[in-house]
Amino acid sequence: MDRRSFLRTSALGGGAAAASTLAAPAYAQGKRTLTMVTTWGRGLAGVHDSAQYCADAITAMTDGQLTVELKAAGELVGAFEVFDAVSSGQADMYHAVDYYFLGQHPALSFFSNIPFGMTYQELNNWYYHGGGQELQDQVSEIFGLKTFMAGNTGPQSGGWFNKEINGPEDFQGLKFRMPGQGGQVLGKLGASVQNLPGGEVYQALSSGAIDGTEWIGPWADEKAGFQEITKTYYTAGFHESGPGLSLALNRDLFEDLPEFQKQIVEQAARAGNNWTMSLFMANNGSALQRLQSGGVKIMEFPDSVWDAFGSASAEVVQEPMDDPLYAECYESYMQWLKASAAWISTSEGAYSKQRNRVLGI
């Protein structure tokens, strides 16, 4: 038995037997209804929209042969239960960000975000043209999933705090919500890191259960209402420079689809990837202006904090390197990050700097 077969068997355990007792997708005159579960609370700006876009696109492009019914977090399973639900066959597909599931496999970081990682364009370069999609397929196959990138939020903000951060020592004992490897970095700086689903963050911040939180960016953060609680907002973060969102299907279900439906699912995910990124970027600028007008203080972390982020990030990203598949993903990811960044910084980066200077932006 090869490594992936062994891991899949051990990870799922008795899941296959349990799944056999669950309801199969509903069939009616050649049609079937598929259930999508998500990590997003219903109505969460941008991310819920992204999941709904994918569901609607699959339904429309198959002319209703596949009807995707979306169940938001908590409506069928909890936000952090969607991975297991789809892997076992309890649900048919999920829409999520996969760093929520690093306990399943650390390599899932690369298809969401690693600290000081890729931007949206750099991630697309690697994913579609540098072998990233094939590596994602190797990881997801272990768990009986077929996964596609299906969204991106663009660069995320550093977060909302109940005090200003003047040095790395200010993270000592700070109760802060940040998932994924970014949260592990803050843990190394002494923070008490909380991993909360999006729908629970406002209440936790409002009640004082946490001292601060990152979420997404100005538009989604404004919609969440964090400015009602604190006015200290850091708009650049180290942890999510362009995080990918995932659409994952139960692999047996996916393999059972006719080829044209498989292609429709993949193309719906690709369309959702671009559409979601544009949605966030179209709304962030005006939202930031509204936040500033409402008294929010726009901050940048000092260099000493960025340096501390960098040192801790280097440790966190290296820690799972004893896993061969993680190491393979890391090598490929970093090779493409460096190649893409080298060109983008000397072309688009230089152009943007001069354009903004000339136009006074």
**pLDDT digit string, tens, across residues 213-255:** 999 999 999 999 999 999 999 999 999 999 999 999 999 999 9
Mean pLDDT, residues 95-107? 98
CA-to-CA separations, 163 to 116, 282, 293, 299, in angstroms, rounded: 24, 29, 20, 11
Instruction: Kindly list the strands in the beta sheet with 212-213, ordered across the sheet, starting from the edge strand earlier in the chain.
Output: 192-194, 175-177, 212-213, 159-161, 232-234, 297-299
> Which of these ranges, 2-11, 75-84, 172-181, 341-350, has the smallest mean pLDDT?
2-11
Contacts of 72 (CB under 8 A, 6+ apart): 38, 40, 41, 42, 43, 48
Mean pLDDT, residues 56-69? 98
Res. 26 pLDDT band, cuts 50 70 90: low
Res. 10 pLDDT band, cuts 50 70 90: very low
Higher pLDDT, 89 or 7: 89
Read off the amino acid at residue 225.
G
| CB of 125 closer than 8 Å to CB of 336 | yes
Which pLDDT score is estimated for 134? Answer: 98
Architecture of domain 3-151+242-282: 3-Layer(aba) Sandwich (3.40)
Is it the case that residue 15 has pLDDT exceeding 60?
no
What are the structural domain ranges in the chain? 3-151+242-282
Mean pLDDT, residues 189-199? 95
Is it the case that residue 28 has pLDDT exceeding 90?
no
Which pLDDT score is estimated for 54? Answer: 98
Mean pLDDT, residues 32-55? 98
Res. 30 pLDDT band, cuts 50 70 90: confident
CA dist 136 and 229 (Å) reads: 38
Contacts of 297 (CB under 8 A, 6+ apart): 231, 232, 233
For residue 37, what are the β-bridge partners? Answer: 71, 94
The chain-wide mean pLDDT, for the chain, equals 93
Is it the case that residue 11 has pLDDT exceeding 90?
no
Hey, which bits of 8-87 come out as E strands?
26-28, 31-38, 66-71
Mean pLDDT, residues 150-160? 98
Which pLDDT score is estimated for 267? Answer: 98
Which pLDDT score is estimated for 215? Answer: 98
CA dist 160 and 234 (Å) reads: 6
Mean pLDDT, residues 48-75? 98
pTM: 0.90
Which pLDDT score is estimated for 27? Answer: 53
